[in-house]
A and B are shown apart, each in its own frame.
Chain A
């Protein structure tokens, strides 16, 4: 998966229009990145990448780039 495709996946998970996010976007600036969005992220990461996100890991996400880093 390319970086662009991964960003598109995050946008879809967060219910955002395509092209809203870049790797440098600060998550605190994204209104839609609320607690429900984080749960959707957990589901997406588990289903698409088999990655289990814990609360501590999610707390560590400051930018979209941080999320991309674990999408393997």
Chain B
């Protein structure tokens, strides 16, 4: 699907992580030599992980609070909230509703969750901006992220050491859109459902409620299928996008890819005519943060800049689904906020006492 939405603009991006950064070199049950090779091969030096009580929504909430406060936004004017995650707080209701409450948004602000991972930021932005364009909302808020570091892969057949857990990091991001005459956003998105097994967390939900070994919270990834998919389909989509827009790599200040793995990213950059110095990298510090990775990379690169200068970022997210999407973003460096660190979590989220008291059917 190719879509174009007029009169919307990204006016703020923020990202939050925990206060706990784990370094690869400090992993205790592997030799230093194996660890050095891991860092060299994957590009990951370490990552942030959530505390046991923190969920994705806590990070998104922290990022959104910072964004809305810094930009002095009237929360009554936010008309749409979309929360993209594969790790919601509860089965039901949608965590977006909880976030609507936590951020003090009005009842006129609609809120729902979208279940997507690595392509989620771009897809989420597409859904958000489309809804904004059919309403009179002044602002829309996209919250995206995952706490993937909590999981681990069950890869008995592969020689993966304990370091595989360090391939994923936790984060939550907030992106603010505003109605803006003359600006626009264009998206190209695709889905290949036949690749659904390439990245899958199969157990614990409704197709396979029981897991053979009792563990339900883990994902499995077919590295090779994902690598081939990412290095073929993503560059093709990026090139089609640029053809459609009549642009080339020269028209963009940077290429911001989902931070899956350095080899994949370099290959995509090469195939789309982007030099490596235009390709932004943040996975060294954050590892793979799922739908957070694109906005988090922008925050990592430009968050500390106070420069009043607009940059053109070509962003492409690709992964679970299989699903992939590209967008060209024009955003001012000063609207990209410095990284937020938080140890906060939603305490009332654990308080279920009132479920017992109020239930008087």
Direct contact of A and B (CB under 8 A): yes
Give A contacts to B, CB under 8 Å.
Answer: 15, 31, 33-36, 38-40, 42-43, 52-55, 58
Min CB distance B272 to A, Å, is: 15
In the complex, are the beta carbons of A39 and B158 less than 8 A apart?
A: no
Complex A-B: 23 CB contacts under 8 Å? A15-B37, A33-B159, A34-B158, A34-B160, A35-B159, A35-B223, A35-B224, A36-B263, A38-B223, A39-B227, A39-B261, A42-B224, A42-B227, A42-B228, A42-B231, A43-B231, A43-B267, A52-B228, A53-B224, A53-B228, A54-B225, A55-B224, A55-B225
B159: A residues at CB distance < 8 A: 31, 33-35
What is the total number of residues of chain B having a CB less than 8 Å from a CB of chain A?
17
Chain B positions within 8 Å of A39 at CB level: 223-224, 227, 261, 263
Seed contacts A42-B231, A53-B228; 6 additional CB < 8 Å A-B pairs: A34-B159, A40-B263, A53-B224, A54-B225, A54-B228, A55-B224
B42 at the interface (CB under 8 A from A): yes
Question: Complex formed: what's the CA distance from A58 to B263 in Å?
Answer: 18
In the bound complex, how far is the Cα of B225 from the Cα of A58, in angstroms?
Answer: 11
Q: Are B222 and A55 in contact (CB under 8 A)?
A: yes
Q: Residue B102 at the A interface, CB < 8 A?
A: no
Within the assembled complex, what's the spacing in Å between the Cα atoms of A54 and B226?
Answer: 10
B75 in contact (CB, < 8 A): no
Chain B: CB-nearest residue to A31:
B159
A42 to B225, CA, bound (A): 11
**Bound-state Cα–Cα, A53 to B227, Å:** 11
Q: Which of A33, A43, A53, A54 contacts B263 (CB 8 A)?
A: A43
**In the assembly, what is the distance between CA of A31 and CA of B158, in Å?**
11
Chain A: which residue is nearest B224 at the CB level?
Answer: A55
Q: Across the interface, do B41 and A36 meet the contact criterion of CB distance under 8 Å?
A: yes
Q: Which residue of A lies closest to B261 (CB)?
A: A39
Contact of A54 with B224 in the complex, beta carbons under 8 Å: yes
Q: Considering the chains assembled together, what is the distance between the CA atoms of A32 and B63 in angstroms?
A: 41
> Of all chain A residues, which has the CB nearest B41?
A36
- Smallest distance from the beta carbon of B209 to chain A beta carbons, Å? 28
Residues of B within 8 A of A55 (CB): 222, 224-225, 228
> Is B42 in contact with A36, judged by CB distance below 8 angstroms?
yes
CB-CB under 8 A from B222, the residues of chain A are 55
Residues of B within 8 A of A52 (CB): 228
Which residues of chain B have C-beta atoms less than 8 A from A43's C-beta? 231, 263, 267
Q: Is the pair B263, A35 in contact by a Cβ cutoff of 8 Å?
A: no
Give the distance in Å from the alpha carbon of A38 to the alpha carbon of B224 in the complex.
8
Q: How far is the CA of A43 from the CA of B225 in the complex (A)?
A: 13
Interface residues of B in 214-253 (CB under 8 A from A): 222-225, 227-228, 231
Asked whether A58 lies within 8 Å of B160 as measured between CB atoms, the reply is no
In the complex, residue of chain B having the shortest beta-carbon distance to the beta carbon of A36: B41
Contacts of B263 in A (CB 8 A): 36, 39-40, 43
Assembly CA distance A55 to B227 (angstroms): 10
What's the Cα separation between A39 and B158 when bound, in Å? 13
Closest 10 pairs between A and B when the two form their complex, measured CB to CB: A55-B224, A36-B41, A34-B159, A35-B223, A35-B158, A39-B227, A55-B225, A39-B263, A58-B224, A38-B224
**Most central of B224, B263, B267 by chain A CB within 10 Å:** B224
Residues in A with CB closer than 8 Å to B42 are 36
B269 to chain A, nearest CB (A): 13
Cα distance, A53 to B225, chains bound together (Å): 10
Instruction: Give the shortest distance, in Å, between B224 (CB) and chain A (any CB).
Output: 4
Residue of B nearest to A28 (CB): B159
